[in-house]
Structure 1
Amino acid sequence: MDAREKILDAAAKLLAESPAAEVSTRAVCEAAGVGAPMLYRLFGDKAGLLAAVVDRGFEQYLASKRAARPGDDPVADLRSGWDNHMRFALDHPHHYRLMYSPELTVPPAAAREAHALLHAILERCAAAGRLTVPPAVATQVIMSANVGAALSMLTRPEQYPDPGFSTRLRDAVIDSLTRTAAPAPRDGVPVAAATLAARLRATPPKSFTTAESSLLQQWLDALAEG
């Protein structure tokens, strides 16, 4: 095992044993049997080390999401994704809390990838005519709600004892952003614009120049925002 893996193993073990999800670089170096210069050479600083620990801990979770085959109903996939997110957070509380810690001045790659995977599902929702707002907006709303719910349940379990809380919040959030039937007259233009914008992103028209496609996307996104 090389020095990098030794350091990551030691940091992950200390993180799992820490009730406050706190790890010192000195303790990591002692546990890994390496000097501080080696740690800083490999990871830059403590924030870089913690980000690498988070990315490593989230790898299995993200691998399962990458391998997931899209279902026939993208909104159902959205609900399933929320539940998987919550399950991982509650099963790996220290890694999860660290992922969103203010100590990490640069977001871990895992956080960016999770955001991108959620956005991809919402693009499918929009292309199917199921989304009532632009995918980027829906991604922000759902990710914020999902992360907020997970952190609330992890850090204030006495205030969130009901296991059904997550499901109720999930449905309230997703139902506010999606639809199952034809849009109401007042919603017709935003929904149609969001749908067309997603379909054009998935299959750009060959007859348009890059500038024309970009301008059309701007117009459609503006209409989708109502």
Structure 2
Amino acid sequence: MTNSESRERLVRAAMKLVEEQGVKALSTRAVCEEAGVQAPALYRLFGDKEGLLDAVAEAGFERYLGAKKALEGSDDALADLRSGWDGHVRFGLENPDLYRLMFGRVTAEGMVRGPMGEAKAMLRSLVGRIAAQGELTVDVETAADLILSANIGVTLYLIDSPEEDRDLGLSDVSRDSVTGMISSREVRTKSPLAAQAAKLRSTLAATEDCGLTKGEKALMEELLERLAG
């Protein structure tokens, strides 16, 4: 078996175990057994378990980028941005342990190089299209940083929320808040009442103890969503 084949087997096995058991339960012994590769090969190729996890995170980004590149763009860059946000959250919820590993191992250098750097470059390009349409209210770099940090934050929050209490509407509110901050189209199309309703719904969704029962809070959020829309 070549080094390339051993490497591919080990990364694939480690990713499978991460997705099934989580990072904390991963052991080099289990990876080697799953991959059918001897332990010395793992240490020769990756150095140690941390090196293997770096490779798994990189493979996760390759999967993530593959899904991004498969999306067909439209003539509406802002609509593509909103769709990309939703796809990012969906990827995280479908691959929770892998997502935590990927974004938990990104370094400052990784933000500008490698798969994460490529993902951010794709986002910058999309934001640049919004700017070219004359609808961007901040510079491209600031907008990209704001979108990415908010998108990752809300995805991690939803992943770590118990499924029975998980409010996917929080992602919609966060997305709309961010696009409202960076897009002149969003500002133009929202009436003062709609803008205030969206802001209040965002605050309410993020507040655990708001003095309302669960049913009252759900009703209030529904009414505010209608006003904001």
Residue identity (%): 46
Of residues 13, 16, 19, the one that matches 1:13 is: 16
RMSD: 2.8
Residue in 2 aligned with 1:134? Answer: 139
Residue in 1 aligned with 2:85? Answer: 82
**CA, structure 1 residues 145+83, in 2 after alignment: closer, same or farther (shift >3 Å)?**
same
The answer to whether the Cα contact below 8 Å between 2:106 and 2:116 also exists between their aligned partners in 1 is no
SS where residue 120 of structure 1 aligns?
Answer: helix
Residue ranges of structure 1 left out of the alignment (5+ in a row): 184-226
Q: Please list, as runs of the form range in 1=range in 2, the aligned pairs for 1:198-213 lying within 5 A after superposition.
A: none
The answer to whether the Cα contact below 8 Å between 1:21 and 1:94 also exists between their aligned partners in 2 is no
Q: Which has the higher helix share?
A: 2
Q: Does 1:55 align with 2:51?
A: no
How many residues align? The count is 183
What is the CA distance between 1:158 and its match in structure 2?
Answer: 6.3
Residue in 2 aligned with 1:191? Answer: none
Give, in whole Å, the separation in 1 of the partners of 2:30 and 2:108.
21
The answer to whether the Cα contact below 8 Å between 1:54 and 1:95 also exists between their aligned partners in 2 is yes
TM-score with structure 2 setting the length: 0.69
SS where residue 133 of structure 1 aligns?
Answer: coil
Give, in whole Å, the separation in 1 of the partners of 2:132 and 2:85.
20
Q: Which has the higher contact order (CA 8 A, sep 6+)?
A: 1
The answer to whether the Cα contact below 8 Å between 1:7 and 1:28 also exists between their aligned partners in 2 is yes
Q: Does 1:101 align with 2:130?
A: no
Residue ranges of structure 2 left out of the alignment (5+ in a row): 189-229
Residue in 2 aligned with 1:205? Answer: none
What is the CA distance between 1:22 and its match in structure 2?
Answer: 4.5
Residue in 1 aligned with 2:42? Answer: 39
What is the CA distance between 1:39 and its match in structure 2?
Answer: 1.4
**CA, structure 1 residues 20+53, in 2 after alignment: closer, same or farther (shift >3 Å)?**
closer
